[in-house]
A and B are shown apart, each in its own frame.
Chain A
């Protein structure tokens, strides 16, 4: 078990700054998920913590001790890679015990540990088989077993589930979370899949362009994104983002002729009072298409399309040709469909220039 601290960590490849002055503390036993689009530096950070990539500047500390100069094998970490990295010439049993054998652990100890992990991962039947004979999901399970067999202080996972079938992924995700809590091992998990991040993480570290955008519990990042990027990256379908222009007594919605006012549409007073250009962030689940006349706070907008996904009905509307999405809450699908309602609690406001979220407290 270990606490990991990243201090002003920068990693450069030539002129390219993959990671730019990152600071982070991962608490002992915590499950932290690095989330971000590809190329944002999350995997590079993970590989640096592992000792596979050298930091250009800044420090990596394990329990207060600087580990920059330790090789991966000296750091007491274990890692599961995105693409399967089992040793193809060794059978499952030999794969799992490889880290113990490489460290010259006595045979009896190896046998005991092997029993322990085969029990956890239910791999008893597969031990004699070779990696190529297993489906990708089972291979990652083996990789995980190989990672935890020597009780590493830190478990590093680099998109371990991305190469696995959808169905099996859910199961593995659940097992992984369960296992991590049971072992209590400090875990850093890299993914670009926000659903994985939301369901697994104690805290999410959201990265973009080599910098940390926001760190926080999954709910907090979802409900209180610090900027437009965080708001749009998390949540599916993606958050609608509409320009707001201050006009007399309200805010005009994009290029439409709808003006939102505190009185009629329940938008906060401060947003109108600040009289600056804003961007409205509203998640589709907070945009409702309602029966005309049923909701006094609704306003008319051009609706392009209504479609069903399973039992839920969604609708598309557009402002200035930009498409947006919402949920169709009407009981029937016939008749005029143009009354749109924004749930007041679900409205987020961002500064149009900086992209940072603004709240009533600040204004």
Chain B
């Protein structure tokens, strides 16, 4: 702490900064608060003017998301609950495979030099940057021809492709953090490279794999563009389902808000679990390596 005197200017600027921070915090937190609050409102309360802060909670939104009570069978195609199941299946299987593939590729990229490595790395990353709609123009045809349209398997395939690039880069970052001597010592002692990888290196990046899985899951879970075009009835995921949650009187806001809250819960949990690696995942394994 360095010595400082408080001038009027300091005071004014301090309050100004504080004020701006407060405004930003309101802007940042307010909508989340409003989302959670609205998910418990009945239709009457939703449209009330002035908006209500206190009301009798209504659980119909959550009931329809979890497929219980009268709201369960109101939808025409799959129910909201079925779409939740789809979401879980697709994102879990997609994440698992993307992380598995990405771990293998990331290890090779971290340890070996091979021809075209730079191009490979760029190609892999560029898939993360790809605008979904661009490839969707072709997927639309391809999925129909291969019978993948509106199937969980097809969506899982998309989920793998969409995340394997990110997984490769993050895992490369984690492998870079493991000293090369680990394998060298094992090889000198007569073990194979494969043994060194599976028995020594992999256990050392356990945390990294978990973090990568967390990231891939968050992206797979929230994915919308692919799922919205490639599913029609059976394989709809929750984000797609809420975009179509219209009833007789327009959008079913209670359902949408409840689904939004349900969508954010697993993300919150994963987010908390991988908080230390947040930076790593957000910068493709470049920053925040430890």
Let me know if chains A and B touch directly in the complex, using CB atoms closer than 8 Å: yes
Residue A133 at the B interface, CB < 8 A?
A: no
Q: Is A41 an interface residue (CB 8 A)?
A: no
Nearest-CB residue, chain A, relative to B5: A69
Contacts of B3 in A (CB 8 A): 51, 54, 68-71
CB-based contact B5/A72 at 8 Å:
no
Tell me if A53 is interfacial: C-beta within 8 Å of chain B.
Answer: yes
Interface residue range, chain A: under 10
Instruction: Determine the main DSSP class of A at the interface with B.
Output: loop
Question: Can you list, as one digit per residue, whether each of A49-90 has a CB less than 8 Å from chain B (1) or not (0)?
Answer: 001111000000000000011111000000000000000000
Residue of A nearest to B4 (CB): A71
Q: Are A53 and B5 in contact, with the CB atoms below 8 A?
A: no
Within 8 A of A (CB), among B1-44: 1-5
Residue-by-residue, is B45-65 near A (CB-CB < 8 Å gives 1, otherwise 0)? 000000000000000000000
A256-288, CB under 8 A of B: which get 1 and which 0? 000000000000000000000000000000000
Residues in A whose Cβ lies below 8 Å from that of B4: 71
Q: Are A54 and B2 closer than 8 Å at their CB atoms?
A: yes
Contacts of B1 in A (CB 8 A): 53-54
CB-defined contacts of A54 to chain B, threshold 8 Å: 1-3
Interface residues contributed by chain B, number (CB under 8 Å): 5
Expressed in whole angstroms, the minimum distance between the Cβ of B260 and any Cβ of chain A is: 43
A-contact 0/1 string along B89-126, CB 8 Å cutoff: 00000000000000000000000000000000000000
Q: Mark A133-176, 1 if CB is under 8 A from B, else 0.
A: 00000000000000000000000000000000000000000000
Task: Give every chain B residue within 8 A of A53 (Cβ-Cβ).
Answer: 1-2
Q: How far is the CA of A71 from the CA of B7 in the complex (A)?
A: 13
> Which of B1, B3, B4, B5 has the most A CB atoms < 10 Å from its CB?
B3
By beta carbon, the residue of chain A nearest B1 is A54
Neighbouring A residues of B2 by C-beta, 8 Å:
51-54, 71-72
- For chain A residues 321-359, which have a beta carbon within 8 Å of chain B? none
CA distance A71 to B5 in the complex (A): 9
Shortest CB-to-CB span from B148 to chain A, Å, is 51
Residues of chain B with a CB closer than 8 A to A52's CB? 2
A190 vs B19: C-alpha distance in the bound complex, in angstroms?
43
CB distance from A76 to the nearest CB of B (A): 15
How does the 8 Å CB contact mask read for A38-54 relative to B, with 1 for contact and 0 for none? 00000000000001111
Would you list which residues of chain B between 254 and 274 have a CB under 8 Å from chain A? Answer: none
Measured between beta carbons, the chain B residues less than 8 angstroms from A71 are: 2-4
> Nearest Cβ in chain B — how far from A63, in angstroms?
18
Rounded to whole Å, the gap between the CB of B9 and the closest CB of chain A is 14
Q: Given the complex of chains A and B, what is the CA–CA distance between A196 and B5 in angstroms?
A: 37
- Nearest to A69 among chain B residues (CB) is B3
CA separation between A51 and B1, bound complex, in Å?
Answer: 9
Measured between alpha carbons, how far is A54 from B2 in the docked complex, in Å? 6
How far apart sit A148 and B177, CA to CA, in the bound complex (Å)? 41
Q: Cβ of A70: which chain B residues have Cβ within 8 Å of it?
A: 3
Contacts of A68 in B (CB 8 A): 3
Complex alpha-carbon distance, A69 and B2, angstroms: 9
11 A-B pairs with CB atoms under 8 Å apart are A51-B2, A51-B3, A52-B2, A53-B2, A54-B1, A68-B3, A69-B5, A70-B3, A71-B2, A71-B3, A71-B4
| 4 smallest beta-carbon distances between A and B, as pairs | A54-B3, A69-B3, A54-B1, A52-B2
The chain B residues found within 8 Å of chain A, CB to CB, are: 1-5
Name A residues whose Cβ lies closer than 8 Å to a Cβ of B: 51-54, 68-72
Q: 4 additional contacts, CB 8 Å, given A53-B2, A54-B1, A72-B2? A: A51-B2, A69-B3, A69-B5, A71-B2
